[in-house]
């Protein structure tokens, strides 16, 4: 098959589709992966056919951070960003899907990609890294607090899905008028119609971490995370200077705490950095701070290393714990490594993952970034260093390492697409 994968966002929204693409290619399929242009080198170094998409996800990250935990503001910022780049995205996704037999899409592309698949009369599959279009009474929409009521929790999923579709239609109409595009009937992937069944959903998270809900629709399948084989972890994509700095720091002291806020661009970055540094000092811990898209950087010392990025699958097993924002990708890497996770959520689905880390016993209660303080972070580090949390994190990591998310996803993709 010719398979087109459409994704958008930060590295955590792109990284899972690298091992999935390679797995599909090893099965003889031709894969085209469309993602933001800044990930060109990351994707092409794996010899995956790449189509760049317009827009800067770092700018989107900044807007979502400013929106905080407000679902309506998050959707508003997503729509505003989409309208700015919409005409280019429509053209680029059509190019990427030109010869496709199957379109796989993520949250940002759900409506547009499904509509395109209908127009081309080919099947489509939705892959999500957080539960967005999978109504359940077990928990609410990921941006909302738990209502303690199964009906209300379920309703929150249904309402958020309709809001998402309405927002997509309003946004497209703005783009269409601005760019002079022809009228187009949009379709929601998860509506059942006489002519087409609703689009199946593959949930790219571990069933150990978040088991499938008993009230999921039959079209929803929890496959497991999409990781590269552990033995393939390497530092080839990083400069020799970065590699040497990491290796020297790791061998010249006790295992450090990794601090990774990934794609988060926060106006309080300086305050957050000061809190982290002081908490490390008070708990007598060394730290590796992965600055990511953030602007904060200091001179490194024997106990503190600032570096832009490093492969989580290589670094985290060498660390004693990780402090992070709770993005789906970083959470999966922390759990895979079998180390305690301290989650400091900034926005979107991050509080949801932080709460689930706590529920499964792999870390303390999450600390919302607006509530972060030296005292709270020190207490969280002390709790994460306890035998109970360390042992539970190791157990969770062992179970996740035994899963085959890529293999399970490929089995569902081939079963659905070849039987459609």
The domains of the chain are located at 2-225+404-419, 231-401
What is the reported pLDDT for 395?
98
Let me know the angle formed at the C-alpha of 264 by 260 and 267, rounded to the nearest 5 degrees: 120
- Cα-atom radius of gyration of the chain, to the nearest Å? 21
Could you give the C-alpha distances from 291 to 67, 73, 297, 324, 339, in angstroms and in order?
Answer: 21, 26, 7, 11, 20
396 backbone φψ class: left, alpha, beta (φ>0; ψ -120 to 50): alpha
The pLDDT of residue 146 is above 80: yes
Using the predicted structure, report yes or no on whether residue 300 has a pLDDT greater than 90. Answer: no
pLDDT at 48 over 80: yes
Q: Is a pLDDT exceeding 70 seen at residue 62?
A: no
Average pLDDT over residues 153-175: 91
Contact yes or no for 53/89 (Cβ under 8 A)? yes
* Pairwise CA distance, residues 280 & 283, whole Å: 5
Residue 266 is predicted with a pLDDT of: 55
State the chain's mean pLDDT as an integer: 89
Question: Which is more confident, 239 or 143?
Answer: 143
- How many degrees, rounded to 5, is the angle at CA 63 between CA 58 and CA 67? 145
289 pairs with which residues across the strands? 259, 306
Give strand ranges (E) for 85-171. Answer: 102-105, 124-128
Cα 134 versus chain centre, distance: 16
pLDDT in tens, 354-405: 999 999 999 999 999 999 999 999 999 999 999 999 999 999 999 999 999 9
Cα separations in angstroms, 382 against 129, 229, 362, 375: 30, 32, 13, 11
Q: Residue 58 has what pLDDT?
A: 73
Q: Residue 303 carries which DSSP code? A: S
Please, what is the Cα angle at 62 between 180 and 275, to 5 degrees? 175
- Tell me, what's the pLDDT at 181? 85
Tokens read off for 331:
């959470």
* The CA-based dihedral angle spanning residues 51, 55, 56, 59, taken in that order and rounded to the nearest 10 degrees: -160
Return the higher-pLDDT residue of 419 and 171.
171
CATH number for 231-401: choose from 3.90.209.20, 3.40.50.2000, 3.40.1160.10, 1.10.3720.10.
3.40.50.2000
Q: Quote the CA–CA distance of 415 and 409 in Å, as a whole number.
A: 10
Residue 345 vs residues 7, 218, 264, 373, 397: alpha-carbon distances, Å: 23, 31, 10, 13, 21
pTM of the model: 0.90
Which stretch of 120-134, 137-151, 182-196, 291-305 has the lowest confidence by average pLDDT?
Answer: 291-305
Could you say which of 3.30.465.10, 3.30.300.180, 3.40.50.300, 3.40.50.2000 is the CATH number of the domain covering 2-225+404-419?
3.40.50.2000
C-alpha span between 252 and 4 (Å, rounded): 46
| pLDDT single digits (tens) 102-139 | 999 999 899 999 999 999 999 999 999 999 899 999 99
Domains 2-225+404-419 and 231-401 equal at CATH topology level: yes
**pLDDT-derived band of residue 80, with 50, 70 and 90 as boundaries?**
confident
Residue from 390, 381, 286, 382 nearest 338 by CA: 390
Looking up tokens 């899409």 gives 105
**Percentage of the chain lying above the pLDDT 90 cut:** 65
pLDDT of residue 154: 96
């Amino acid at each position: 098959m010719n398979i087109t994968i459409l994704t958008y966002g930060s590295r955590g929204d792109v990284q899972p589709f690298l091992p999935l693409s390679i797995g599909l290619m090893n099965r003889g399929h031709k894969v085209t992966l469309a993602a933001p242009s800044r990930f060109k080198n990351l994707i092409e170094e794996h010899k995956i056919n790449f189509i760049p998409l317009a827009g800067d996800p770092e700018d989107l990250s900044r807007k979502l951070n400013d929106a905080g935990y407000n679902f309506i503001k998050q959707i508003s910022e997503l729509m505003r960003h989409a309208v700015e780049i919409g005409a280019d995205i429509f053209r680029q996704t059509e190019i990427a899907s030109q010869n496709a037999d199957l379109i796989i899409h993520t949250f940002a592309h759900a409506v547009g990609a499904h509509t395109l698949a209908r127009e081309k009369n080919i099947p489509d599959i939705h892959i999500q890294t957080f539960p967005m279009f999978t109504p359940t009474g077990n928990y609410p929409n990921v941006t909302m607090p738990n209502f303690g009521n199964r009906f209300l929790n379920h309703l929150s999923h249904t309402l958020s899905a309709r809001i998402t579709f309405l927002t997509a239609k309003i946004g497209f109409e703005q783009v269409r008028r601005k760019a002079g595009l022809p009228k187009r009937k949009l379709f929601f992937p998860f509506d059942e119609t006489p002519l087409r069944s609703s689009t199946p959903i593959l949930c790219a998270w571990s069933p150990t971490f978040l088991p499938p809900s008993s009230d999921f629709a039959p079209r929803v399948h929890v496959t497991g995370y999409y990781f590269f084989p552990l033995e393939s972890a390497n530092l080839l994509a990083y400069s020799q200077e970065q590699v040497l700095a990491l290796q020297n720091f790791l061998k010249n002291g006790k295992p450090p705490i990794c601090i990774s806020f990934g794609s988060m661009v926060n106006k309080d970055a300086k305050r957050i950095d000061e809190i982290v540094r002081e908490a490390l000092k008070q708990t007598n811990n060394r730290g590796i701070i992965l600055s990511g898209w953030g602007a904060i950087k200091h001179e490194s010392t024997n106990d503190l290393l600032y570096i832009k990025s490093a492969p989580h699958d290589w670094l985290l097993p060498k660390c004693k714990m990780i402090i992070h924002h709770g993005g789906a990708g970083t959470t999966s890497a922390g759990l895979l490594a079998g180390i305690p996770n301290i989650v400091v959520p900034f926005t979107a689905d991050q509080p949801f993952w932080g709460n689930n880390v706590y529920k499964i016993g792999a870390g303390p209660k999450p600390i919302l970034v607006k509530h972060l303080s030296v005292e709270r972070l020190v207490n969280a580090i002390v709790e994460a260093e306890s035998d109970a949390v360390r042992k539970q994190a190791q157990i969770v990591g062992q179970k996740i390492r035994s899963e085959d998310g890529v293999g399970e996803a490929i089995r569902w993709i081939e079963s659905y697409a070849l039987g459609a």
